[in-house]
Every structure is written in C-alpha cells, then in structure tokens.
Amino acid sequence: MTAPADPPDPGVPSATHTVTQLTEQAQVLRAELSDLQRTLTEARQDLHGTRVTQIVQANAHLVQAALAAQAAMDLANADLDRLTRLSQRDGLTDTPNRTLMLDRLQSAITMAQRRSTLAAVFFLDVDHFKTINDTLGHAVGDAVLQLVARRLEASVRDSDAVGRHGGDEFLVLLPEVSKLADTTVIAEKILLDIAAPVVIEGHPLQLSVSVGIAIYPSDSEDAATLIALADAAMYCSKRQGGGRYAFHASAVPTPQVLK
C-alpha cells in the first residue's frame, strides 16, 4: 500500500490571483502611458508659456508610469513562472509530476515513431515504505522519497527523466533506447544505487525498489497504457519480495540484485 499523493499546493490559487491582479495593473498603467504620450505630442506643438511646464510634468509622469508598468510586469512574470513550476513539479522531490511525465512520454513516443527506435517506461515503488512511515515518522519518510528521487536522477542518462507518480511511486522515462539490453543495464544500476546504505535522522536504512518495465512499441503505442503495463509488471516484482525488475512482456522478475 503506497502513501497518498501530496495535496495540491495552496500557493497555486494565490499565485493565479496575483498574476491576474498584476496583469490588470499593467494594463491600467499602459493606458496611462498612452495618455501621457498624447499629452506630450500636443504639448510639443506649443513650446511657449505654460506648455513648457506641461511638458516637464508630463515627462516626469511618463517616466514614473513606465517604471511602475515595468515593475508590475516583472512581478507578474515572476509569479507566472512560479505558477507554471508549481503546476509541473512535485513539491516534495522537485521532480516532474504525473502530468508533466505523461506529456514527456507522449513526446518520446512521437520521437520514437519518427526515428523508428524504442522507448521505455519504468514504474517504481519503494519497498516497505509504509513500514518506514509508520515506525520512523513522516519526516523520515519524506527524506526517503527525496533521497530516492536524487539517486534515480543520478542513475539514469541525461536524456532520461525521473518523476514522482504519487505517494512512494516514481516513473523513469527512457525516450532514446536503441536496443532492449540498454533498459536492463539501467534497471540494474537503479537497483544497486538505491540499495546503497544510508543514515537518515540517525536511522540506518537500506532501501530497495520494485521495478516494472514496459516498452514502446512492443507492449503498447499509447502513453497511458504503457504506464499501466509497467505498473502491473512492478507488482509482479513486488510479489517476489522486491528489489527486482520485471518486463511486462515476460512478467517474470529478475533475481534480486545483491546488496
């Protein structure tokens, strides 16, 4: 049983509201800039008497309005960037979330179709994670998930992607696979790297993951189906005791990697 996914970040609605406010403010300031520019144009037609004073005042207002508009737009862009990041990243592990990983998998399928290559999806579940959470506390559990994310990122290639699917489940996407043996090499490296002993908040731990693998196009040509098949293969590994990987096509887990 996996831990529930994190609840939506409450900062997202707040960021959306702020972006809306700042955008409206910038629109008002742009309108003011337009009015001031029109005043300057009219004032330039008569450079005598009070018109000179009007030009000076209008120019000062124009500069102030321009600076205010730029500041408002900078704030809006910063909040928009933050909102985009919140919508695409997992708040705990700072990895791509389920939605972004699905989008990347769909892109990988398109690329594989064009190049007539393979793509692979790994579905991983942290073995005995509920026991860690229940006996050592959620702070240790969170630290374990962060550690697993970092070790997964270090285990794969630069072209691959690691994302948290939810709870203690992760996805690894291999978009550029020339031969099936490449996935075996990476799967074995993941198992070994995850199994390296670690001490978290004074608790010595030796972690392991169960891994299921689905291959495009032999298993499926649909992104969501590939994930579901990899998930099913992962449960095959877990039923054998964890610390293994299994391909969906064979549904036979490999021997456990020695730790």
Digit-coded pLDDT (tens) for 89-108 = 899 999 999 999 999 999 99
Neighbours of 110 (CB within 10 A): 13
Q: Is pLDDT above 80 for 111? A: yes
Domain map (residue ranges) of the chain: 11-88, 98-247
CATH of domain 98-247: 3.30.70.270
Digit-coded pLDDT (tens) for 158-171 = 999 999 999 999 99
Among the listed residues 160, 168, 219, 231, the single catalytic one is: 168
The span from the CA of 200 to the CA of 138, in Å, is: 12
The question of whether 168 is a catalytic residue gets the answer yes
**pTM as predicted:** 0.68
Q: Which two tokens stand for residue 230?
A: 């990899």
Burial class of 89 by CB neighbour count within 10 A (0 to 12, 13 to 18, 19+): middle
Q: Which two tokens stand for residue 92?
A: 């705990």
